[in-house]
Every structure is written in structure tokens, then in C-alpha cells.
Amino acid sequence: MRIPLYRPPYDERDEHALLTALRGGRIVGDGEHTQRASERLAALLNVPHVLLTPSCTHALELAMLALQLQPGDEVILPSFTFVSSANCVLRAGGRVVFADVVADTLTLDPADVARKLSPRTRAVMPVVYAGVSPNLEAIARALDGRPIPIVEDAAQGLGASYRGRAAGTTGVMGCYSFHETKNLSTGEGGAFVTTNAEFMARAEIIREKGTNRKQFLLGQVDKYTWVQVGSSFLPPDLTGALLLSQLDKLPSIQQSRQTIYHRYLDELQPLQQHGLLTLPVLPPEVQSNYHIFHVLLADEPTRNRAIKFFSARGIATAFHYLPLHLSPVGRALGGKPGDCPVTESCSSRLLRLPIFPSLTADAQTEVIAALRDFFSP
């Protein structure tokens, strides 16, 4: 496509960072760059513990394994999310309970969390959508005073915040993605963060193949050994090197995205006033990182026609998550139409527009003009 949906912000500084790390001759996991990138992230997010992982998918698996779910334990999460939010629960032996989202931000609906709460609820997983945090206070209130851990899927959340706290750090654990599509990118990559030392200790062991290697490296045990079932959730040190150079660019990336996002909001306002589309909402307690710009159209056929219309002009647009409760796996778990009505409606009408730092003003003018033309050819 002439105008893509996203373009990762790689440049010569990233090339230099990767080459320097490679020439250092040591790029195994948890090397010098991984260490420095983890410290930078911990400072940025204001959390004590960060582990880099090969992806957010792995970070979510680490979080669910650290929770030590027992058979029958339930985790409430939105149906409107990426498959990894749900896979991690099933892989850790838990049960997924799908809840609906609220229409304005497409994030977890606190009222539906309250409805889905059961004696078996073991965790709740709010998901940052488009760089916007869910209403975390209302979700906490919905837990009715029970000490149920909140694990945030902040795959899309780096650089965003909720009431001044970094998105992904309000719960006991949080997970981030540095996939190619995200604001900061290492191709594939992720991070697990926690505010809790016990979860951190468990996660370190699981991530290091189920061994106490970390304690050995710290001189706390004289040999390292297999202490529980684990896996290898370490990215190569090249990921840390690239993440460091990407982190240097975070403020300018956010700034460009913010400008593009607000221009869409301003210039598409008349289309909303004419009832042709619904613009995204930024609640006052939320600072977005402007990861996605989306609009809701009247219905699914209109949305699908819009994607084709843009495509004919060389502009990439896209739909997004399909309701997980209606996927083949979701249906096998008992999901049926009508379970999450807002998810079902919004998912079928959602259209994402190009947003990335190097989107030029002229290219954005074309995208906006195309949307106007779509409605009045």
C-alpha cells in the first residue's frame, strides 16, 4: 500500500545499537543491554521489577504461571482483545470468563466484571485498547473488596497512563509488547513487570527454565538446579539493545502520534456531527499513547466497503479484534452470540486509520479526504 497502516520507527541509531551489541560478541539473554533496558523501563514505569520477554504473549504466560492457577480458577478478561490475553489463562490451567467492553473506550466494562465475578474468580485482566486504559478504579470497585489480583494486558500501553500512573502498573502484574506494530518496536519483544517481590521470584524461575539460576548468579546458592516446571522466556540481548535505542525516541514518537491523532479528531468531527461515524473517546483520567486511531461506522457492510474504498486509493485501513467468545475456541468454551453485545457490535463496525510517526501531513490529508469522499462520492 502507498500509505500503510503502520510503519515502525527504525533508523540509523537502531542500526548502530544493533551492530554495537553484535560486535560486543555476547548476545545471549539477560546480557548488558537487556539489563540496561530493564532498568530504563523500571524507571519509566516506576516499578521495582521488569523482565524482558520475547513477546507480550510470553509475558502474559509468565504472569498466569506466576499466579499458580488451579483447575477451575477463573480469569475475567474482555472478549474484545488479542488471543494471547486468553491463551495464557488456558495454558496455565485456568478458565477464561469473557466480559464485555464499554462502547466509548472499548475497554473492560466494570459492570460486566461485577456480573461475571464468582467464588472461583482468581484474577481480572483489564486490557489497554488503542493506548487507552480501562476505568481501573471502577474495575477495582467491582471486585467488592476481594483481594483479587489485577493483571494488566498493556501490550498497547507503553507511554500511556491512568491518573498519572503508567498504564500496566496499576495491578500486581503488567505485560507490554514491542511487536513491530507497537509504538516502540523491537520486531518481536515484550516485558513483564510486577510490584510484588513474590511474583517476581516465581517469574524469574519460570523464565529461566524452572531453575534458580538467578539466585546462583547473585551468589545466593552455590549451584543452580531445577526447582519447578519452567520454560525459556529470555529474548536475545539484541532485543535489549534495540529497545534502548527505541526508548531514546519515545518522547518524539509520542509527540508525532499525538499530533496525528488530534488532527484526525478535529477534522473528522463534522462527519461525527452528521451521524456518519463515531470518534474515539479519551476520558479525562487517561493519558493515551495514541497507539491506534479508530472510528466506528454504521454497520459491518459499511465498514467493509470502507476498507475496499481506501484500498483502491492505496491506503491501508483495517478492522481489529474479532470477539473471542465467538471464535471456534470461544464457542467450545461456551461462548454464544449475545454474550458480549457491545463487543459484537463495535468489532463489526470498527475501522482503523493509518497512524505512525512518519505519516506525513500530506498523506494524512489524503486519508481524511478519502473518508470524506467515501461518505459523499
- By the criterion CB under 6 A, which residues form the site for ligand PLP? 55-57, 81-82, 84-85, 127, 153, 155-156, 177, 179, 190
Residue number, 97 or 370, with CB nearest to ligand PLP: 97
Residue number, 10 or 309, with CB nearest to ligand PLP: 10
Residue number, 242 or 370, with CB nearest to ligand PLP: 242
Residue number, 47 or 292, with CB nearest to ligand PLP: 292
Nearest to 297 by CA among 317, 323, 267: 317
CB of 99 to ligand PLP, least distance (A): 14
CB of 174 to ligand PLP, least distance (A): 11
CB of 18 to ligand PLP, least distance (A): 19
CB of 89 to ligand PLP, least distance (A): 12
CB of 212 to ligand PLP, least distance (A): 27
CB of 84 to ligand PLP, least distance (A): 4
Residue number, 81 or 169, with CB nearest to ligand PLP: 81
Residue number, 75 or 271, with CB nearest to ligand PLP: 75
Q: How far apart are CA 363 and CA 23, in angstroms?
A: 38
